Amino acid sequence: MSMEEIVARAEQNIRNAIADYDRHTTQHTVLEDITDEFIHKLAEDSSYAKQGLRELFSKSPAWHPELDAIVINGNRTKEPNYERAYHIACDIVDDKFREFDLDDRWYQLRDAISWFCSSSEEQASDAGGLQAIRFLAPKAYAPGKKVSRVFRAFCNELGVADETAGSDFQRLFAMFADEINSKKIDFKLFVSINPAHLLTMSNPKEDVRGKCLTSCHSLNSTEYSYNNGCCGYARDAVSFIVFTVDDPNNPELLNNRKTSRQIFAYRPGSGLLLQSRMYNTSGGVYGAAEESSVYRDLIQREISDLEGADNLWTTGPSYSSKYEDYVYADRDFGGYQDWIYGEFDGHISIRSDADHPEPLCIGEAGLCVVCGGPINSNMYCDKHMPMPYHCDLCGEGCEEAYEVLNANGQWIRVCNNCLREHYVQCQYCGTWHLQSEIVVLNGQNLCRECHERHTRTCAICGTLHMKNQMVRVVIGDRVEWVCAEHTSRFKVCPSCGMYHDHNDGACPVCGYKAPTFTLTKQEVSDDELWTLAF
């Protein structure tokens, strides 16, 4: 197959992946901005960069050229996790722990739960735990009865079982039963250099089917900038993605519903392998070490077989001082370098025939989804970075948006240009209205509502004024509004403060009447004393 054909196939894979990724999400951020320029650039860069890995991987009998991936049939045994089972069992009987409140039954319940969450050898020697079960639920235990069935009967006798379909009890009991039993798991492991699989390495945010293996590398993530790394991994020469899905026969799930995934890195012929963090449906923590070990072994075997080398590897933590110098990130790589952190359990493996291998350079610059130009953060270059707001009037993006009332009385957000061109702010209530909804009064802009509520016509001069610049006046038997310029012609009641034009001296509102004064003359010790008599 020619490189032109490989690039064309990669382009189609990317288009299909984006459509699959967008199919079940309500968050279309980034996805709606992807252009043909971006798709072609990513397909071309990745196809050429991965050609060395493609030549190596295509030697495998499990190579699928249409997927650009090796598909390995694997199996693993899931061993019981009694510690996790114990926590689940405690959640199931939590109400009983609260009810017993440290009396004898509380300790009996603790011992019973410990018995359920132990191996068969430990159970055989734990007479106290079995005695506690018989004390709390006499009918639950019978020799030879499966432990999960004994626990269900135990819960029924305690009264904590809820057999309603979909109940919390049924959900937790299924988890408990899964943790105390070992089982063989068959799976298909996809070992892919396909840029579509790398672009969609983490599942979409806001998936209507429920959250499943999302991360800061989710393509439609807006919380972080690390999804830049999806393109960065796709454009380097050494990175490939190893992942699983629930139904390998459903091609859509390869792009939007991975159940586990890891980034590996290998330079053909180097004998140096990086295994980065395991992400799975439990968040990349629970069960990761076990799965990682199985997947690493399969990848090591596959690479060794393809290169005709002995499958003998030395493996250590990628974050340790012994191994940390074997891998570094390109300076323009914008992804999350999880292999440098101890809690993420990354590994470096060196094959026995490797002679001082050169370090692996992980990642390249990402690509702007609009123009396809190189970037090292987010999914947009500075020129095409989306604005935080969209104008509801012109539809353009904007750095700031302003709330205004449109002609239908609805609140919308508009950009600064539309605001200045079409809207005026009411100087009384502060709301922005269409220019046609504004009335100018004495140089002051008022919306129609404020104009109706807060202006009146002076009963004397007939001029319109703001109410806060007028007074109410009793004229005859009517109450009118009068502007400040004409209030001097009215009396003011000293009792209630009302203005009026009544000449009889009595306030028409409160009835207050001003007192009258008379002068009287009295004789007091030959002196004249004028007094006021009321």
**Per residue of the chain (534 residues), what is the pLDDT tens digit?**
899 999 999 999 999 999 999 999 999 989 999 999 999 999 999 999 999 999 999 999 999 999 999 999 987 677 788 998 999 999 999 999 999 987 899 999 999 999 999 999 999 999 999 999 999 999 999 999 999 999 999 999 999 999 998 899 999 998 899 889 877 778 899 999 999 999 999 999 999 998 899 999 999 987 888 999 999 999 999 999 999 999 999 999 999 999 999 999 999 999 999 999 999 886 555 457 778 898 999 999 999 999 999 999 999 999 999 999 999 999 999 999 999 998 888 999 999 999 899 999 999 999 999 999 999 999 999 899 888 788 999 988 888 999 999 989 999 999 999 999 999 999 999 999 999 999 998 888 999 999 989 999 999 999 899 988 899 999 888 899 999 889 888 988 988 888 888 877 788 888 778 765 554 444 444 444 444 333
**522, 525, 527, 532 alpha-carbon torsion, rounded to 10°:** -30
Q: Which two tokens stand for residue 245?
A: 């899905």
In angstroms, rounded to a whole number, what is the distance separating the alpha carbons of residues 402 and 414? 5
**For the chain, what is the radius of gyration of the CA atoms?**
40
In three-state secondary structure terms, 71 is strand
- Looking at residue 283, what is its pLDDT? 57
What are the start and end residues of each CATH 2.10.110 domain in the chain? Answer: 389-453
Residue 434 pairs in a beta bridge with 423
Query: How far is residue 379's CA from residue 225's CA, in Å, rounded to a whole number?
Result: 8
SS3 240: strand
pTM: predicted TM-score of the whole model, two decimal places: 0.65
Amino acid at 72: I
Q: Which residues, in sequence order, are bridge partners of residue 187? A: 74
Please give the structure tokens belonging to residue 302. Answer: 């596959």
**Two tokens, residue 387:** 């604005």
DSSP bridge pairs for 465:
456
Fold of 389-453: Cysteine Rich Protein (2.10.110)
Q: Are 237 and 56 in contact (CB under 8 A)?
A: no
pLDDT of residue 526: 47
3-state secondary structure of 284: coil
Neighbours of 331 (CB within 10 A): 10
pLDDT of residue 524: 46
The Cβ of residue 165 has, within 10 Å, a number of other Cβ atoms equal to 6
Amino acid in position 106: W
Distance CA 446, CA 39 (A): 53
The dihedral built from the CA positions of residue 149, 155, 159 and 164, taken in this order, carries a sign that is negative
What string of DSSP letters covers 151-195? Answer: HHHHHHHHT----STT-HHHHHHHHHHHHHS-EEEEEEEEEE--H
Instruction: Please write down the HEC assignment for all residues of 415-466.
Output: CHHHHHHHEEECCCCCCEEEHHHEEEECCEEEEHHHHHHHEEECCCCCCEEE
CB-based contact 324:342 (threshold 8 Å): no
What is the pLDDT, as a whole number, of residue 521? Answer: 47
Q: How far apart are CA 197 and CA 199, in angstroms?
A: 5
CA distance 427 to 448: 12
Torsion angle defined by CA atoms of residues 469, 475, 477 and 479, in that order, rounded to the nearest 10 degrees:
0
Give me the pLDDT at residue 140, please. 95
* Antiparallel, parallel or unpaired: β 327-329 and 360-362: parallel
**Tokens (6 digits) for 443:** 């140089």
378 in Cβ contact with 227 (< 8 Å): yes
| Residue 421 CB partners (closer than 8 Å, separation 6+) | none
- Determine phi and psi for 96, rounding to 5 degrees: -70, -40
6, HSE (Cβ side, Cα atoms, 13 Å)? 22
User: Strand 499-500 to strand 491-492: parallel, antiparallel, or no bridges (unpaired)?
Assistant: antiparallel
Residue with tokens 């104008």: 391
What pLDDT does 398 receive?
Answer: 85
Asked if 344 and 356 touch (Cβ cutoff 8 Å), the reply is no
